[in-house]
Amino acid sequence: MSHHYTLRFEVGGMVFDISTMLMSVLTAILVFVFLFVMTRKLEAGVPGGKQNAVEWVFDFVKNVSSGYMDMKYAMKLMTLGLTVFLFIFIGNQLGVIATVNTLHEGELGEGVMEMLTVAPTPEQEAAKRETIEHELADHGIHIAWWKSPTATPSVTFALALVVLLYSHYLGISKSAGGWFKHTFLNPVHILEEFIIKPLTLPLRLFGNLFAKEIMIAFLLSGGILAAAPLFVWLGYSVFVGAIQAFIFLTLSMVYISQHINDEH
């Protein structure tokens, strides 16, 4: 089985993965469409199936949030909670429901080769080019287009950064002095706020989703013999995707509550 490559480009020292960008935009669109469709024609009386579904999601996020903070704050955070949960849940499932790769053999255009070999150093670029040329001559390479955006560390770190910065903003807004005392006067809190949380929150999500996608790609290469294990793994991956969305939401609300609860 050949490696799965992605097209990337560099701007101002930053590397952008095209497939990750496409899937992130698609996930955001799906979240918007889901909420738009499910919340049309809401009724005050007996709700229909769509309204029941969206109310269940709303109540689920509200119950998670209110378990760690006052209901008043929990309701203020519903937009953030719903967005985070739905984006991660839908993004996690995209790599389960489909996989889109294009097989390329023979020679590639220089522009495409440059986008495939983006690396931190010229030596790494040269080594990557040599590997790709060898695989092209041997059995071809696969360029991945469809995957879970949450299987990319840049996406999970960006989500975590938004949540953590917002938690500090809420803490400062409530009491700048209390926020400073909680954040900087205890060495354990300094380690927790600036090392542990920024690393564990995104890496937990990325690690689970990346492993899921690697396993799916491996099983897909196994042909008919891997059909049964693949079916079982896909079902398990749906479960993992849902659990990881729940864990990220829960930890986000826990971290926010640590800055806004009176006891802190």
Q: Do residues 155 and 15 touch, judged by C-beta distance below 8 A? A: no
Q: Which residues of 96-133 are buried (b: 16+ CB within 10 A; e: fewer)?
A: beebebeebeeebeeeebbbbbbbeeeeebeebeeebe
Segment 163-193, tens digit of pLDDT: 999 999 999 999 999 899 888 988 999 999 9
Q: Which residue has the tokens 């950064």?
A: 161
Q: Which of 12, 86, 54 is nearest to 241 (CA)?
A: 86
CA distance 69 to 178: 17
- pLDDT score of 1 more than 80: no
Look-up of token digits 């802190």: 264
What is the model's pTM?
0.89
Instruction: Report pLDDT for 264.
Output: 47
